[in-house]
Structure 1
């Protein structure tokens, strides 16, 4: 069976006022049928450029992309039938109700009498009570749900989610992931980009990471987590940390997370904090998660960041 998606040494170069800019450098990986796959990277890493090439909205400078063996440049119509893409931007037609928008989207793919599946989408995404509401009257989160429904209305074999939960509430995130996970169990292939790395860790069996347009990691999620070089000491405090500890820590508000390798280092770190007069709350030690691995890889020098397959 063909791979669901193949990115075959894809490069993309843009001409700018400052000269050529390489958004992608020979990116090469495959997504297998039925996988729930994460494509991760910081802003500007090239994720959206790669998805734009997959969607046929941009052309690669070199390389090729295929969907179940169909080249997206040579046969864009067939490739598009197998793809359901949810972009980052909120795009909607203000003149239609939710149901009308989904019926029109069905028509773009030549699908008639699609109301049974539309009803299932509306129910699965928590939109049933909004079916006859004009799109202009929906909140941002509800519009995002409709965009997901539009991407799924033609029952695509591959679902591409580009930051689908950015800026949305917890209820939508839970509803969306429950529905997408159900489709994945039924055989749909899912490609996800997200800055919520806990989502990728929980949902995705394999992860690719991009940095500055280059693929720097490609592994099963479990194997990637095993590569973490440390545990994490987590605590809350309102006080400044000693410089030696602060340089290996990251802060989110008053929550601090410090890399530690073993029990001895935990004790030494806590002793140093006590000696400095830092008052701690809610102390815990946890294993490194995907966010820790991500930050470690993004901070690595290019020569030391290797792709593992």
Structure 2
């Protein structure tokens, strides 16, 4: 079964394919920054009943007018069958798209990364028919970003750094840097990368720390706008339940419910709305006022 961690390790390249070029340029490999990216079908199955599927497949177009295919594979452990599969993927992709394929393998531990980076030669003695040379990203070459300012400058790379180093004993500093950086961007985008981070960490101990960071930092998850939207939804639910039960509220009481932005109080009222017989019981022992400060 494919894990959430496995999914995040290759999906992040769909969110920002430029991570690939930026990382390997820093390592001395001159991949140009993409100007356009197309998500391609990942199914490489032939007519025979044998399914072969790459984790993520992108077409990268560059400013120079050249294009290539980026096949991303998330690898959680050594697998003797994978090199043969990778050779098939690359040959099939070249035959199908007539574009140069590049295989990127992402790993979360050094041993798997070192294994995946070994070239695979297919042929007989004295004649190499095909050589598979994966590019590998893992804890050995992805920077551990612990500076919030550096993380804020490249949120996707900082997210990938967290996912890649999620099993490291000192992952806390990387997590905190990303959590701080996410507060510098819009809430919707931050939510995407926060969820990708949690998926990527999977069952690693760092996942619990990440959830704690996201829970404690209420300003990140609960902006004033999102709080208001959630409160309004609960308020309308309170009124809807009471209306369905034919419990009539005065206009003042209805407005009190609508004006309240205390979500805990609204949830308490929603629970009571299922059983109360009038508005007095609804507000019993609750503080007066609207809940606004």
So what's the TM-score if we normalise by structure 2?
0.24
Task: Determine which structure has more spread, i.e. the larger CA radius of gyration.
Answer: 2
Structure possessing the higher relative contact order (Cα contacts under 8 Å, 6 or more residues apart): 1
Which of the pair is proportionally richer in strand? 1
So what's the TM-score if we normalise by structure 1?
0.24
Which of the pair is proportionally richer in helix? 2
